[in-house]
Structure 1
């Protein structure tokens, strides 16, 4: 299982087996709170099946999706390493199967296999690049620009966005209100850029830079 996870992909089979033996497996239903922003927790989570997302909230209750997780993704490594409180809330979008690796077990294993620390550094740098891109989008793109980029990057080769996303989902992912996203989406539909295809969105033609 863990050999598919980027963080552990270069470990030997016997090392993978040892690591899996010290993990706890947990099945959680859809819409379950796995991590709450501000909590003190001490585990790394690996998503074996299902989908989840990480959210940040402001004082008014507005939410912003900072990351989405699919099978073989993992989360919780920052608080695992620096012992600070969780910086985001993680909620399951579907029923999920998680592997949970406690902090002490992680460090005991990593101390015996230092190559794991190099993997951690690499994955943290990847997340830093993604966070930098999000900051740039919020600073330099308006809501339409952020939505257009999200839809464009989410489509498959046929222009279909496989994940069924509500307008509230889209709003949370681009840091806007549902009403604003609804207006932009309807304008894209009216303009023939986007259609509904068997309950999923499909991009019919390239979205314009400005709209």
Structure 2
């Protein structure tokens, strides 16, 4: 059984989350007090699209992804999550149905915050609510800016940007400056970049011929992360 995170380690994890970045240490401590450690094995569904929304999660270790099923039965990947990422955060404010399915890619250790506990905390400390709104507003602006940039980018630029983001995540978890292994499929890369799989595959082949990456089954090794910047504009 994995070790239980201490309150201090929960505070340190919460401090990495952009939604909570405006909170003072004492406020982070109050949130940590209502957080519960959770462990999920790989290839596990944490919650499904349409489920009741009652808990949000912050990843401490491991990786997960958000997917939605299209009306034609295809599964579309919306986002990947790693240490310091939050998902299901709207459960802190309401109990609407889940808008996506979250499934683990490997073993995941996380802390969970029940929506009712968070809402009680917000009633008792209204200043935390104000700071959370500030954090959510910043995240929304960043998402809007990212969407605006992507609308003007080529497929190559978007794919290179997605790879760069995944490399930075891997490096934050201890990967080196070169030969960074990213565990992801071509289909997921394409969906995250908002392109067809065929277009993403063609560009990945270009990167492979240039010696920037090596592809394997469900993984990409980025040999020269800095070279990706040449394709992002």
Q: TM-score w.r.t. structure 1 length?
A: 0.80
The CA RMSD measured in Å over matched residues stands at 3.1
The aligned counterpart of 2:139 is 127
Instruction: Name structure 2 gaps, 5 residues minimum.
Output: 1-8, 169-175
Q: Determine whether 1:202 maps to 2:216.
A: no
Closer, same or farther: CA 57–176 of 1 in aligned 2, 3 Å: farther
The aligned counterpart of 1:188 is 207
Closer, same or farther: CA 61–138 of 1 in aligned 2, 3 Å: farther
Instruction: Name structure 1 gaps, 5 residues minimum.
Output: none
The aligned counterpart of 1:28 is 40
Q: Are the counterparts in 2 of residues 63 and 175 from structure 1 also a CA contact under 8 Å? A: no
Q: Distance in 2 between matches of 1:127 and 1:49?
A: 22
Q: Distance in 2 between matches of 1:186 and 1:90?
A: 30
Measured against aligned partners, the alpha-carbon deviations of 1:151-179 in whole angstroms (never above 9, x if no partner) come to 23444573544432332331232133433
Q: Determine whether 1:71 maps to 2:83.
A: yes
Pairing partner for 2:110 from 85, 93, 98: 98
Pairing partner for 1:3 from 8, 11, 25: 11
Task: Tell me how far 1:206 sits from its aligned partner.
Answer: 4.8
The aligned counterpart of 1:167 is 186
Q: Is 126-135 or 142-151 further displaced after alignment?
A: 126-135
Q: Secondary structure at the match of 1:12?
A: helix
Measured against aligned partners, the alpha-carbon deviations of 1:127-168 in whole angstroms (never above 9, x if no partner) come to 313321342244222322210222234445735444323323
Q: Are the counterparts in 2 of residues 65 and 174 from structure 1 also a CA contact under 8 Å? A: no
Q: Determine whether 1:143 maps to 2:155.
A: yes
Measured against aligned partners, the alpha-carbon deviations of 1:48-104 in whole angstroms (never above 9, x if no partner) come to 221112233422344444333222322212143133222222111211122222222
Q: Are the counterparts in 1 of residues 160 and 228 from structure 2 also a CA contact under 8 Å? A: no
Task: Tell me how far 1:3 sits from its aligned partner.
Answer: 1.1
